[in-house]
Amino acid sequence: MSDDQVILIVLGAGVAIFAIIVVVGITNSRRKSRSGLPAWSVTLQRLGDQPYFVTSDVALSDTTQWTLFQEKFPIGSAVSAPGAPTQPLHVSAVKQSMRAGWPVAKAGFSAYFAEYAGSELPASFPVKGGHRFAAVNVDAGGLSAVDAQNQCAWHSDWEDLQFSNGADLILRNDNSTIRLEPLAARGSVSLEEVVIKYATFKQMHY
């Protein structure tokens, strides 16, 4: 047997194992959905100084899991977050976002707390977006993409802003859609994380 044949066999076996892992993961997720059980686990993470809950990945197409998460953390409910200086905390928003896109689109869910609402605002983040955009400014009123002279070239209020976070960040308001590539975080807070917290997810990448 030639070296080329051995390489092809090894590659074929690797692809087969990967496919089996994907199929098993999808099957387990669907079985839990049919049983009404969460296919995700929750961990506590931090966005700047604020704690928030985030889940493990689930299939984006599994809408039952999103419903289960919203039922687990209803708006206004009181929860405990280990390490938070204030207890209990009250859920102010639950959000969905993209986690991965190949070979099966994955999503994740987040729960944020009223005690930290707006704590990361205002902020400015450098971006790459053609010749039109040099940075994105965010505040309580919404998101503005500005040019090199800091003049507003695109804006959306938070309640009208939809996003899709894939290889780049797609933003949509009532009238138009733009694509941005965030270049740097502001300390321990990134533009993508702020958009996930305050805007509404809509799958626009795949």
Per-residue pLDDT reduced to its tens digit, 71-114: 999 999 999 988 888 899 999 999 999 998 767 789 999 999 99
> What pLDDT shows up at residue 143?
98
The tally of CA atoms less than 13 A away on the side-chain side of residue 142 is: 18
Radius of gyration (C-alpha) of the chain in whole angstroms: 20
Per-residue pLDDT reduced to its tens digit, 14-44: 443 433 333 444 445 455 445 579 999 999 9
What DSSP character marks residue 2?
-
Domain assignments of the chain as residue spans, ordered by start: 1-119, 123-201
pLDDT at 142 over 80: yes
The CATH number of the domain covering residues in 123-201:
2.30.29
